[in-house]
Chain A
Amino acid sequence: MEQSRNSIVDIWGPRTPYIGTWPERIDMQLAEQPDTWVQSACVLCSNGCGLEIGVKEGRIVGVRGRADDRVNHGRLGPKGLHGWVANNSADRLTKPLIRKKGVLVESSWDEAMSLIVAKTKEIKRKHTAGAIGFYTSGQLLLEEYYTLGIIGKAGLGTPHMDGNTRLCTATSAAALKLSFGSDGQPGSYTDIDTTEAILLVGHNMASTQTVLWTRILDRLAGPNPPQLVVIDPRKTYTAEKATVHLQPRLGTNVPVLNGLLHLVIEGGTIDKDFIDKHTVGYEELKKVVSEWTPELVENVAGIPAGDLRKAAKIVGSSSTLLSTALQGVYQSMQATAAAVQINNLHLIRGLIGKPGCGIYQMNGQPTAQNTRETGADGDLPGFRNWDNREHIEELAKLWNVDPYIIPHWAPPTHAMQIWRYAEQGSIKLLWISATNPAVSLPDLAQVRKILSKEDLFVVVQDAFLTETAALADVVLPTAIWGEKTGCFTNVDRTVHITQKAVEPPGEAKSDFDIWVDYARRMEFKDKDGAPLVKWTKPEEAFEGWKQCSKGRPCDYSGMSYEKLLSKNGIQWPCNDNYPEGCERLYTDGVFHTSADDCETFGHDMTTGAEYTPEQYKAADPQGRAFLRPAAYEPPHEQPDDDYPFWLTTGRVVYHFHTRTKTGRSKALQDAAPDAYVQMAHEDAAQLGISDGELVKVESRRGHIEVVARLGGISPGTAFIPFHYGYWDDSERARAANELTLSEWDPVSKQPHYKYAAVKISRITGEGKPSLLEKAGTLLESIKEKIIH
């Protein structure tokens, strides 16, 4: 075995201090010496690091970072270096499974696909396409999303298409749309190379995007390091490096950010000229934030007034500023409202579209950006506006279909509503791909109930028999990363190609091939009777996508597979104006807000009510950005006598999502083998709980048993990582989402995972809680359910 460093122990690797150009450092992890190297990029977080897959005798034997890649300059994180091992797992699914008399039985592809097609036709005939829903992922490739988008929107004509990206990235998209008129990240990762100050809000970058954090660590070790402001209730790896660390009470992001905006405006370091020329809404913003004095913020959010002033001095006085946000904002109370305040900070200081002045409204998953672009989720392809007739006509013309087939009478149905329709019985076919809602959705008892419903036909595409697949009616075995070719796009709009390096195991097929086959079997046609899906290969789909995106903000028309293979990592828009890609958006201060261009006509920030085209056109900002203020709304569930602790959930550095892959890598699994609850020493002492003791955590939804880990968190607050389900340990209830709330942000519809009220207690002999009925016995039953 060869490794460039032990990334389990040394997560970020040795420092290469710099300012300006980030030095290269090649990270590598090999089990054996490869015969060949195949170009790809990493899919184990949203950073999008360029890498090569090492192949020997048809098997993946390791990875190494690509030094010439603009994203990582050769580096890889622990997940990237060790996650590939999962491809070679012995428990990969290799044949389709069909539930017969209650058990999953191996079948042929023809039998499985025929059954799905027959079910689709029967359900559509009886109940319309409104009875069919798709729940996808942030893990598929661009070509797969776009193909599915066409099938759903122009083949079946269902409005019910969304995915787990609703849990990870919906607020990012919503905030970008509300401020700038369209989705699309304004900045570039190269902004880290020169920036003077960095504001991280609810974003533990050190754990979630380790290579991006390495870039910051290298700046911190170099000349003229940036000052860091970190807003996070926990003392995270990220917070340890902060110049100022603000630890707010859960659910108080808006008061803290309003307080910062107030101090910046009061300090007079705003760019009045930029505000006048390029924004609308400044006076209203000023009025709303003026109430938020440091004293009031201290009172509501628990942050010392002096600390807020120190933070405001940094973000208000630096000549460049880079801001990032992630789930601490997106999955908390007032998610969109808070994310928008970060955009506001940059707009009032005129710090956008310039080097060092990026805003990263981060994505949680590697390909989340692509489902937003191509319309496999609650968006329309090419950032088109569902409420703009001309945009619908454009799509209809492109696909050569009647515009009326494309659902556009309301916004595409968001994920939580899709699940609700399935629960109520009006959605009768739910097709889940590359994700594991039985561990990742809130309130898991409810999710298991829905998936087990007799009148819901559940199709699951996955590489493994996940907790979700175990409850499906049909399971389709899929090829994964390294076994298929396609493209995906990261947070700074960098598009990578990932190539097929090895064959998938057994009869597993790519999601792309499965949907192309489904479209063929369903005989979806365009207006002239030609096949609706006009391709059978990913590269042809990419060419189709280029046409769809041409002229839109996410313009891929200047790219090709050949170009992506020769110059790894190209940022969109890439077209005649920007043949090599475009580093930053909005360099001219002109935004995508004019009525004919914008992706949304906007929402009321408090209620989420949609504004009408008429309302929007009456005050068309014509390219100016929106400054949108937000008043504070307290969290809906708060600790009380019965449930005295705040619960927040999140990630650990060694795992991704529900560990479907990372849990099958021995190095990663050994590094973080089980769930735990982090709590303050003071709280533990009061309850008589010692470090490492198994405790019971209960909410109004359910309970789990996890080990207590003490310290690094504010008193009154508890943290549990959400990765752990039941496929590899069904001895006890341990999934954090047994406890979480089923409710969501009114604008982005992203669920609120970052607060719930819980109680924590010692487990005594006679009081030991019983096992979860379904989850607890899942693993045993999984094995019994497959008949070879």
Chain B
Amino acid sequence: MHIGNYIGLVHESEKDLAEAFEKVSKHHAAEPDVYQMCQKLSSWSANHVLNLQPFIKRYSEDKSKEPDNLKRSLFSQPRSGSLALVRDLHDLWLLANEVQLCWVVLLQAARSLRDKELELACEQFDAQTQKQLEWLMTRIKQAAPQALVVAE
């Protein structure tokens, strides 16, 4: 059984996503809505990590370094200027997609295992990740025209 592989993967991915939201929040603190929402969305991911603990005990986890590598390559450059916001939200969106895919894969495994507790957790976390993605997409669409076309 390889469920431990994905428990490890989602654990690290959510941790990274929580940190990334926190980092982007601080980096763009001059955008009040970005600051507030990234703080909130970071707390959602941090909460997912906390609530994963019983399943880590139940299935054990394989430690994964893959998400860290992804995060490093995404947020590799310090960014400034109005384009930076679009690029940082862009990378958050990519990270959040990684997380969402993990929850979908785990949800399938939970159903096959008839683990109702894990199934419910995966459904709830997937729904919140979906909301994170929807906010990111909305904010990216709003910011892109001004950043790419108008700003110097």
**A residues neighboring B (CB under 8 Å):** 127-128, 130-131, 159, 409-411, 413, 416-417, 420-421, 424-427, 604, 606-611, 633, 636, 741-744, 746
Q: In the assembly, what is the distance between CA of A427 and CA of B138, in Å? A: 21
Is A609 a contact of B137 with CB atoms below 8 Å? yes
* Interface presence of B53 (CB below 8 A): no
A604, B130: Cα distance in complex, Å:
11
Bound CA–CA A741/B36 (angstroms): 12
Alpha-carbon separation in the docked complex, A606 to B44 (Å): 12
Whether B146 lies near A746 (C-beta < 8 A) is no
B134 contacts A409, CB within 8 Å?
A: no
Known contacts A609-B131, A743-B33: does B138 contact A424 (CB below 8 Å)?
no
Q: Is the CB of B150 within 8 A of A127?
A: yes
- List 8 contacting pairs A-B, 8 Å CB cutoff, sorted by A: A127-B150, A127-B152, A130-B146, A413-B142, A420-B30, A608-B33, A743-B36, A746-B37
B146 surroundings in chain A (CB, below 8 A): 130, 421, 426
Task: Kindly list chain B residues whose C-beta atoms are within 8 Å of the C-beta of A741.
Answer: 32
Say how far A609's CB is from chain B's closest CB, in angstroms. 4
Shortest Cβ gap from A545 to chain B (Å): 29
A416-B33, A609-B135 are known; give 13 further A-B pairs, CB within 8 A.
Answer: A127-B150, A409-B141, A409-B145, A424-B82, A425-B152, A426-B150, A606-B131, A607-B37, A607-B41, A608-B135, A610-B141, A741-B32, A744-B33
Name which of A409, A420, A606, A607 has the most chain B CB atoms within 10 A of its CB: A607
- How far, in whole Å, are A609 and B33 apart by their CA atoms in the complex? 12
Closest to B140 in A: A410
B33 contacts A411, CB within 8 Å? no
Q: A130-B145, A743-B32 are known contacts. Are A608 and B150 too (CB-CB below 8 A)?
A: no
| Chain B residues within 8 Å of A604, by CB | 131, 134-135
Q: Which of B32, B150, B151 contacts A742 (CB 8 A)?
A: B32
Q: Among the interface residues A425, A609, A610, which one has the most CB atoms of the partner chain B within 10 A?
A: A609
> Shortest distance in angstroms between B36's beta carbon and chain A's nearest beta carbon?
6
Q: Knowing A159-B145, A410-B141, A426-B82, say if A130 contacts B134 (CB, 8 Å).
A: no
Query: At the interface, yes or no: B123 with Cβ under 8 Å from chain A?
Result: no
Whole-angstrom distance from the CB of A680 to the nearest CB of chain B? Answer: 29
A-B pairs, 9 with minimum CB distance: A609-B134, A130-B150, A607-B135, A743-B32, A426-B151, A609-B135, A609-B138, A610-B138, A426-B150
Q: Would you call B117 an interface residue if the criterion is a C-beta within 8 Å of the partner chain's C-beta atoms?
A: no
Measured between beta carbons, the chain A residues less than 8 angstroms from B135 are 604, 607-609
**Residue on A nearest B31 in the bound complex, by CB:** A420
Task: Provide the residues of chain B in CB contact with A608, threshold 8 Å.
Answer: 33, 37, 135, 138
Chain A residue at minimum C-beta to C-beta distance from B81:
A424
Q: Return chain A residues, CB-CB under 8 Å to B113.
A: none
A411 to B33, CA, bound (A): 16
Within the assembled complex, what's the spacing in Å between the Cα atoms of A604 and B30? 23
Contact A426 B152, CB 8 Å, known A410-B145, A746-B33:
yes
Q: State whether the Cβ of B1 lies closer than 8 Å to any Cβ in chain A.
A: no
Complex CA gap A128/B149 in Å reads 8
Please measure, in the bound complex, the distance between the C-alpha atom of A410 and the C-alpha atom of B31, giving whole angstroms.
Answer: 18
Interface centre among B131, B137, B150 (most CB of A within 10 A): B150
- The distance in angstroms between the C-alpha atoms of A421 and B149, with both chains bound, is 13
Chain A residues near B134 (CB-CB < 8 A): 604, 607, 609-611
Give the distance in Å from the alpha carbon of A641 to the alpha carbon of B40 in the complex: 23
* Chain A residue nearest to B136 in the complex (CB): A609
- B145 surroundings in chain A (CB, below 8 A): 130, 159, 409-410
Distance between A449 CB and nearest chain B CB, rounded to angstroms: 12
Cα–Cα, bound, A409→B138 (Å): 11
Contact: A410 with B82, CB < 8 Å?
A: no
Determine the distance from Cα of A127 to Cα of B41 in the docked complex, in whole angstroms: 34
Across the interface, which residues of A come within 8 angstroms of B82, CB to CB? Answer: 424, 426
Cα of A131 to Cα of B152 in the assembled complex, Å? 11
Q: How many residues of B contact A (CB 8 A)?
A: 24
**With a CB–CB cut-off of 8 A, which chain A residues contact B40?**
606-607, 633
Contacts of A410 in B (CB 8 A): 141-142, 145
Known A742-B32, A746-B37: A424·B151 in contact at CB below 8 Å: yes
Central interface residue in B41, B82, B151, by most chain A CB within 10 Å: B151
B109-152, CB under 8 A of A: which get 1 and which 0? 00000000000000000000001101101100110011001111
CA distance A502 to B122 in the complex (A): 69
- Rounded to whole Å, the gap between the CB of B135 and the closest CB of chain A is 4
Interface residues of B in 12-57 (CB under 8 A from A): 30-33, 35-37, 40-41
B150–A636 contact, CB under 8 A?
no
- When distances are taken between beta carbons in the complex, the residues of chain A under 8 Å from B37 are 607-608, 746
Residue of B nearest to A615 (CB): B134
Q: Return B142 CB to nearest CB of chain A, in Å.
A: 5
Q: Say how far B148's CB is from chain A's closest CB, in angstroms.
A: 10
Rounded to whole angstroms, the CA-CA distance of A636 and B36 in the bound complex is 8
Which residues on A sit within 8 Å (CB–CB) of B151? 424-426
Q: Would you give the shortest CB distance from B35 to chain A, in whole angstroms?
A: 8
Residues of chain B within 8 A of A421, CB atoms compared: 146, 150
- Nearest to B35 among chain A residues (CB) is A743
For A416, list chain B residues within 8 Å (CB): 32-33
A131 and B138 contact, CB distance less than 8 A: no
Q: A609–B141 Cα gap in the complex (Å)? A: 11
On whether A411 and B150 interact (CB within 8 A), knowing A609-B131, A609-B137, the answer reads: no
Residues of A within 8 A of B32 (CB): 416, 741-744
Min CB gap A427→B, angstroms: 8
A749 to B141, CA, bound (A): 16
**CB-CB < 8 A to B142: which residues of A?**
410-411, 413, 417
> B36 contacts A131, CB within 8 Å?
no
Give Cα A610–Cα B135 distance, bound, in whole angstroms.
Answer: 7
**Smallest Cβ distance from A442 to chain B, in angstroms?**
10
CB nearest neighbor in B for A751:
B32
Set B36, B41, B138, B149: member contacting A130, Cβ < 8 A? B149
B88 smallest CB distance to A (angstroms): 15
Contacts of A409 in B (CB 8 A): 141, 145
Residues of the A chain whose Cβ atoms lie less than 8 Å from the Cβ of B138? 607-610
In the complex, which residue of chain B has the Cβ closest to the Cβ of A131?
B150
Near A by CB (< 8 A), chain B positions 60-112 give 82
Residue of B nearest to A610 (CB): B138
The answer for the CA separation of A522 and B142 in the assembled complex, in Å, is: 28
A253 → B minimal CB distance (Å):
18
CA distance A270 to B152 in the complex (A): 57
Roughly how many angstroms separate A130 CA and B134 CA in the complex, as a whole number?
25
Question: A427: which B residues are within 8 A, CB to CB?
Answer: 150
> B residues within 8 A CB of A424?
82, 151
Q: How far is the CB of A116 from chain B (nearest CB, A)?
A: 20
Q: Using Cβ atoms and an 8 Å threshold, which residues of chain A touch B30?
A: 420
CB distance from B139 to the nearest CB of A (A): 8
Minimal Cβ-Cβ distance residue in A for B137: A609
Considering the chains assembled together, what is the distance between the CA atoms of A770 and B141 in angstroms? 44
How many whole Å from A610's CB to the nearest CB in chain B? 5
Separation of A607 and B40 alpha carbons in the complex (Å): 9
Q: Which residues of A contact B132 (CB under 8 A)?
A: 607
Q: How far is the CA of A427 from the CA of B32 in the complex (A)?
A: 18
* A323 to B: closest C-beta gap in Å: 29
Specify which of A131, A410, A411 lies most central, judged by the most chain B CB atoms within 10 Å of its CB. Answer: A410
B22 to chain A, nearest CB (A): 15
A420, B37: Cα distance in complex, Å: 17
Residues of chain B within 8 A of A417, CB atoms compared? 142
**In whole angstroms, what is the CA distance A746 to B137 when docked?**
14
